């Protein structure tokens, strides 16, 4: 899909990739883009995509949390966090923003990413929530079980953010069995992972993209507040 660019201060270009993007290619593209954002030769970017099935290891990843090293390719990532799974049916949103516009506050940036996921999920009548001590966005089942539906991991270089969020639309959740997702062991904690599809929500990736676009400006607008 051709890029779409907004107008006015803090203009953000939007790009949607129609086929899965290899992880290393995506990281290389993000590196190029944040350099261009820093030198003023390109606008900020929101990039919506999917990856082929793979695991990424964040800066806090522990070797013992990779339960099945031969299941899928594993990539070291400069983002924060631990192990996570990416694959078809999961909407990745890489968000490249100049945090000079937001007071150089990384914690606030993470809060806004969380708030964005919560607002987008509300469009599907799903209540996404934060949990103290647990990164990402969670949903509660009637039996009290809490499952993660969106993962968050960011990196900042010279006050330009990259990486971002991963929202489970309809991925193969069995692939999460090869890792301890984000360091939270389901057997020990009773927490797991879920998706819109598992919750009974029939939503296409295009539906999710519309929800993401519709809620982004309210969260990341110049006047938006941050309650960290």
Confidence band, pLDDT 50/70/90 cuts, at residue 224:
low
Percentage of the chain surpassing pLDDT 90? 74
The whole-number average pLDDT for the span 61-68 is: 91
Q: C-alpha 46: how far from its chain's center?
A: 11
Question: What's residue 190's pLDDT?
Answer: 62
Domain ranges of the chain: 4-220
Q: Are 202 and 124 in contact (CB under 8 A)?
A: no
Nearest Cα to Cα of residue 115 among 209, 179, 107: 107
Length reported for the chain:
228
Q: Would you call 182 a catalytic residue per the annotation?
A: yes
Band (pLDDT 50/70/90 cuts) for residue 8 is very low
Q: Hey, which bits of 116-210 come out as E strands?
A: 129-131, 134-140, 146-157, 160-168, 192-193
Joined tokens for residue 228: 């960290």
Q: Please, what is the average pLDDT of the chain?
A: 90
- pLDDT of residue 223 exceeding 60, the answer is no
**Average pLDDT, integer, range 57-66:** 89
* pLDDT tens profile 173-210: 999 999 988 666 655 456 789 999 999 999 999 999 99
What pLDDT, on the 0 to 100 scale, is given for residue 181? 80
Please state the rounded mean pLDDT for residues 98-102.
Answer: 91
Q: Give the active site residue among 37, 57, 182, 219.
A: 182
Q: Tokens in use for 123?
A: 């469009």
| CA 213 – CA 148 distance, rounded (Å) | 22
97: nearest Cα among 15, 2, 163: 163
Please list, in sequence order, all residues whose beta carbon lies within 8 angstroms of the beta carbon of residue 108, skipping any fewer than 6 positions away: 102, 226, 228
Name the CATH code of domain 4-220 (choices 3.30.930.10, 3.40.50.2000, 2.60.40.420, 3.90.1310.10): 3.30.930.10
Give whole-number Cα distances, 171 to 55, 86, 93, 168, in Å: 13, 8, 15, 6
> For 122-145, what is each residue's pLDDT tens digit?
999 999 999 987 889 999 977 778
Q: Which two tokens mark 206? A: 């295009």
Rounded-to-integer distance, Cα 95 and Cα 44, Å: 8
pLDDT band per the 50, 70, 90 thresholds, residue 9: very low
pTM above 0.75, yes or no: yes
- Can you tell me the mean pLDDT for 39-54? 97
Give the separation between CA 74 and CA 24, rounded to whole angstroms.
Answer: 11
């Amino acid at each position: 899909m051709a890029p779409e660019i907004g107008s006015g201060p803090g203009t953000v270009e939007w790009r949607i990739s129609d086929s899965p993007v290899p992880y290393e290619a995506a990281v290389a593209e993000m590196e190029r883009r944040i350099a261009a954002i820093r030198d003023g030769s390109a606008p900020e970017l929101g990039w919506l995509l999917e990856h082929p099935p793979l695991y990424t290891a964040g800066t806090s990843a522990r070797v013992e949390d990779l339960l099945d090293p031969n299941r899928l390719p594993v990539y070291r990532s400069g983002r924060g966090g631990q192990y996570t799974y990416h694959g078809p049916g999961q909407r990745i949103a890489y968000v490249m923003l100049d945090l000079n516009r937001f007071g150089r506050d990384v914690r606030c940036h993470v809060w806004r990413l969380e708030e964005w996921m919560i607002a987008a999920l509300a469009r599907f009548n799903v209540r996404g929530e934060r949990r103290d001590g647990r990164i990402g966005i969670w949903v509660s089942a009637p039996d009290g079980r809490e499952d993660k539906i969106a993962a968050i991991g960011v990196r900042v270089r010279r006050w330009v953010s990259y990486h971002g969020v991963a929202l489970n639309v309809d991925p193969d959740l069995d692939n999460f069995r090869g890792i301890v997702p984000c360091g939270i062991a389901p057997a020990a904690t009773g927490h797991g992972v879920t998706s819109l599809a598992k919750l009974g929500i029939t939503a296409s990736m295009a539906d999710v993209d519309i929800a993401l676009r519709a809620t982004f400006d309210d969260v990341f607008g110049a006047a938006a507040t941050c309650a960290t």
